[in-house]
Amino acid sequence: MRGLRVAVVGAGSWGTTVACLASRNVPSTILWARRPELAEEIRTEGTNGRYLPGFRLSSKLEATVDIGEACSDADVVVMGVPSHGFREVLEDAAEHIRPWVPIVSLTKGFEQGTLDRMSEVISEVLPGHPIAVLTGPNLAREIIAGYAAGALIATSDMRIARELQRVFHSGLFRVYVGRDVCGAEVAGALKNVIAIAAGMADGVGVGDNTRALVITRGLAELTRLGVAMGGEPETFAGLAGMGDLMATCISPQSRNRHVGEQLGKGRTIDEITQEMNMVAEGVRTCKVVMELSERYEVEMPIAREVFKVVHEGSSAMAAYRGLVRRAAGTEADIA
């Protein structure tokens, strides 16, 4: 790891946390922030009050608003920006990234319009670069506070996977490796939609049994689509699938669960998102999932009800009535 330089593009809660993790293992970690005042705060105060209030960041962490400064000497580039801005920011960074530098995606979503996964966007913008995904049940505030957690590095090249494992594995943050990039990305994106449904259960007060039913059916639902898209079934039973789904559906820290809960209480999606300072990817993803459902001919009843509430003005209670009216089949067909 001697001399290794890591650039993290995106200074949200998770990007900042991953930068802090990397800074424990490599001699140089630089974080790119879009807002000058945030970069200045990270540099001078060692904090990120907007996204991680109350936490001290690594003293080794650098910050900049110059994407060229961040990426030009990097040996690993980590993309931690939301899906709707991913391609634009990566294109800005691309001219500064040296050949063959691995690109690691933290983003859990699809690109609207193209329906591309983030790894597919990377391969278009930076062909020839090794691509990896870091994903799992990773609530940023718990990890930066030092709680035990696990994550998956998924990439087709196990040699690169092992090297990236050494970059991010730190203390109680355990990093595992795997090859299923597609499955890891699909699971990470779709669990946000199911988390909105689980949050709606809390908001309308339908009970823990109902919420457990929705989470279980949601896992089967996202697994069906993920396998149809090329993912491996085992991935959806692991950290990237069930692990991330559980954390996102039950944690009060989950942005997507919060959106669902507020929808369940009768608030509109515009009211909810306007007061949030971080992106809830499931709001955009549920629209893309409907297009993917049609493309791959996979039925997605929970995602469809979430889409109706978020984008068509249906109520959360109507969504739950629609779900319980569905005929029950065998458990093998639980969704």
Instruction: Measure the CA–CA gap between 61 and 68, rounded to whole angstroms.
Output: 17
* Confidence check: pLDDT of 326 > 70: no
pLDDT interval class at 335 (50, 70, 90) = very low
Q: Which residue has the higher pLDDT, 332 or 248?
A: 248
* Confidence check: pLDDT of 120 > 50: yes
Residue of 150, 216, 149 lying closest to 178 (CA atoms): 150
| The pTM of the whole model exceeds 0.95 | no
Q: Is 287 a catalytic residue?
A: no
- What is the edge-to-edge ordering of all strands in the sheet holding 131-135? 61-64, 28-32, 5-9, 76-79, 103-105, 131-135, 149-154, 173-178
Instruction: Measure the CA–CA gap between 141 and 284, rounded to whole angstroms.
Output: 24
Contact 49, 11 (CB under 8 A): no
Contact 176, 152 (CB under 8 A): yes
In tens, the pLDDT along 270-313 reads: 899 888 877 788 899 999 999 999 999 999 999 999 999 999 99
Among residues 108, 191, 287, 308, which one is catalytic?
Answer: 191
Task: Provide CB contacts within 8 A for 185, sequence distance 6+.
Answer: 105, 108, 117, 118, 119, 133, 135, 154
Instruction: Measure the CA–CA gap between 153 and 162, rounded to whole angstroms.
Output: 9
- Rounded mean pLDDT, 140-144: 96
In tens, the pLDDT along 210-245 reads: 889 999 999 999 999 999 999 999 999 999 999 999
In tens, the pLDDT along 165-217 reads: 999 999 899 999 999 999 999 999 999 999 999 999 999 888 888 889 999 99
Grouping H, G, I as helix, E, B as strand and the rest as coil, residue 227 is helix
Domains of the chain: 5-179 (3.40.50.720), 190-333 (1.10.1040.10)
